[in-house]
Amino acid sequence: MGRALLDDGTVRVNDFGQTSVPGVYAAGDMARRESIPIPLAQITFAVSSGQLAAGMIDQELLMVDLPDLPSPFRPAQQES
Ligand SMILES: Cc1cc2nc3c(=O)[nH]c(=O)nc-3n(C[C@H](O)[C@H](O)[C@H](O)COP(=O)(O)OP(=O)(O)OC[C@H]3O[C@@H](n4cnc5c(N)ncnc54)[C@H](O)[C@@H]3O)c2cc1C
């Protein structure tokens, strides 16, 4: 899908699990933030990063359906 990868082959994500491809998220062992120097490879990290990505996806879809709805946060943009 043309996602940006880090040197260890994991998919580069931002703090919200967003990949370099708009609308595509990654979590768990396959994904890593650059600020975390090593793959964490822990069940709790996989669960929490998946939950965070799920929350962002939910928010992103909500903004599509209800673009005028006041929101405490807008989906962050992945830096290129
Ligand atoms: C031997 C071992 C012991 C471990 N012990 C611990 C422990 O004690 N505590 C702990 O916290 N963590 C432990 N871990 C790490 C933990 O298992 C992982 O961090 C966690 O399972 C990651 O979850 P995940 O959902 O990201 O990936 P996974 O659990 O690897 O799930 C990915 C799933 O995607 C499937 N898949 C892959 N490619 C495709 C494809 N192309 N199409 C469809 N499906 C695909 C795979 O079959 C797999 O079911 C251990 C890992 C190993 C290998």
Does 47 fall in a domain? yes
Does 79 fall in a domain? no
Does 34 fall in a domain? yes
Q: From the alpha carbon of 41, which atom of ligand 1 is closest? A: 19
| pLDDT tens track for 5-52 | 999 999 999 999 999 998 999 999 999 999 998 888 999 999 999 999
Domain containing 34 equals 11-65
Nearest CA to ligand 1 atom 24: 28
Does 76 fall in a domain? no
- pLDDT at 71 (0 to 100): 65
If one counts the domains in the chain, the total is 1
- pLDDT at 46 (0 to 100): 97
Does 54 fall in a domain? yes
Q: What is the DSSP letter of 30?
A: G
Nearest CA to ligand 1 atom 53: 41
Does 5 fall in a domain? no
Centroid of chain to Cα 15:
6
29 lines ligand 1 (CB under 6 A): yes
Whole-prediction pTM? 0.86
Confidence of residue 69 (pLDDT cuts 50, 70, 90): confident
Does 6 fall in a domain? no
The Cα 59–Cα 29 span in angstroms is: 23
CA nearest to 80, candidates 12, 9, 13, 20: 20
Ligand 1 centre from 29 Cα, in Å? 7
Confidence of residue 78 (pLDDT cuts 50, 70, 90): very low
